[in-house]
Amino acid sequence: MKKILLQLDNDKFASVFDAVTAYDAGIDSLLQYGGVQPEDVRNLIYGEMFTRGGEDLKNSAAFIGGSNVEAGEAMLKAAKDSFFGPVRVSLMMDANGCNTTATAAVAKMLAHGDLSGKKVAILAGTGPVGLRAAALLAKEGADVVLTSRGLEKAEKACASIEERFGVKVAPQAAATPEDYNAVLQGVTAVLTCGAAGVQCVSEEMWKANDSLKVLADVNAVPPVGIEGVKSHWNGKEVEGKFLYGALGIGGFKMKLHRACVAKLFEQNDLVLDAEEIFGIAKTL
């Protein structure tokens, strides 16, 4: 029986990136829908649920994507709400690559030792990747601080993390080089998640910081978030510090994304969101 993946995208056109990745993960057929709203999800999921039954249901799964992560979360809820009893299909939510990218960055940071009890900074972290990375690190026991240009926005972001993930992250305002330098005092690891072309950390700043051991940046558009870090660096050691660029993180993100899609077809009751994807990353 063919492995069929239903791709539900909240953008006008369903993502080609996610489609290619799905085929590379070993699916047989892809059903793509763009412009999907949460209220559309139930009937689309029903099309998969009611055409196969029993053991055959594990050969059908759904991937929820698109650039709007909030809409993706609502779509995931709508999909889960459409299930009853054992009649269900496995689901993965990775709108805008939020879960796989955040997980890949965190996995790279943890590769250099336990961060439990250590201070970690997520700079410009109010976007989907920053929020999830902060949450995952906090769940690993790190003392996480998350910054935004304005304190109110940082506070709202940290409140949303506590509501969704049940962990506390400290908010802090940072908008200038002096602000960022102050945040980084005593920090062991830092992840920059700013908008494309926004630099948060200068090379002089991180080289002079004795506490920093791991630096990661998810921005590949120059100037990158951490000055002096090359996008392809994948744990390059410089002056006793380990540095990751966006492409270095992205290589593992792709491996993880494919592994998650493949896992959807092992059973019919998986729901892969941030925590579950992070769990899979630990096995790779």
Copy the structure tokens of residue 130: 């920053």
- Listed in sequence order, the residues at least 6 apart from 186 whose beta carbon sits closer than 8 Å to its beta carbon are 119, 211
* Average pLDDT estimate for 18-39: 98
Q: pLDDT tens-digit profile of 161-173?
A: 999 999 999 999 9
Question: What's the pLDDT score for residue 196?
Answer: 87
The answer to whether 85 and 186 have CB atoms below 8 angstroms apart is no
Residues pairing with 154 in the sheet: none
DSSP per-residue string spanning the chain: ---EEEEEESSSS--HHHHHHHHHTT-SEEEEE-S--HHHHHHHHHHHHTT--GGGGGGEEEEEE-S-HHHHHHHHHHHHHT-BTTB--EEEE-GGGHHHHHHHHHHHHHTTS--TTSEEEEET--SHHHHHHHHHHHHTT-EEEEEESSHHHHHHHHHHHHHHHS---EEEE--SHHHHHHHTTT-SEEEE-PPTT---B-HHHHHT-SS--EEEE---SSSPSBTT--TT-EEEEETTEEEE-HHHHHHHHHHHHHHHHHHGGG-S--EESHHHHHHHHTT-
Q: What is the pLDDT of residues 201-224, one digit of tens each?
A: 999 999 999 999 999 999 989 999
d(CA 11, CA 255): 24
Nearest by Cα to 89 from 133, 121, 41, 131: 41
CA distance 39 to 36: 8
**Cβ neighbours for 119, distance < 8 A, ≥ 6 positions apart:** 142, 143, 144, 145, 186, 187, 188, 211
Question: Any idea where the domains of the chain sit in the sequence?
Answer: 4-93, 100-250
pLDDT more than 70, % of the chain:
100
What is the residue whose two structure tokens read 């993180």? 249
4-93 shares its CATH topology with 100-250 = yes
> Whole-prediction pTM value?
0.95
224-273 confidence digits (pLDDT tens): 999 999 999 999 999 999 999 999 999 999 999 999 999 999 999 999 99
Cβ atoms 134, 144 nearer than 8 A: yes
CATH 3.40.50.10280 corresponds to the domain 4-93: yes
- CATH number of the domain located at residue range(s) 100-250 in this protein: 3.40.50.720
Binning pLDDT at 50, 70 and 90, where does residue 107 land?
Answer: very high
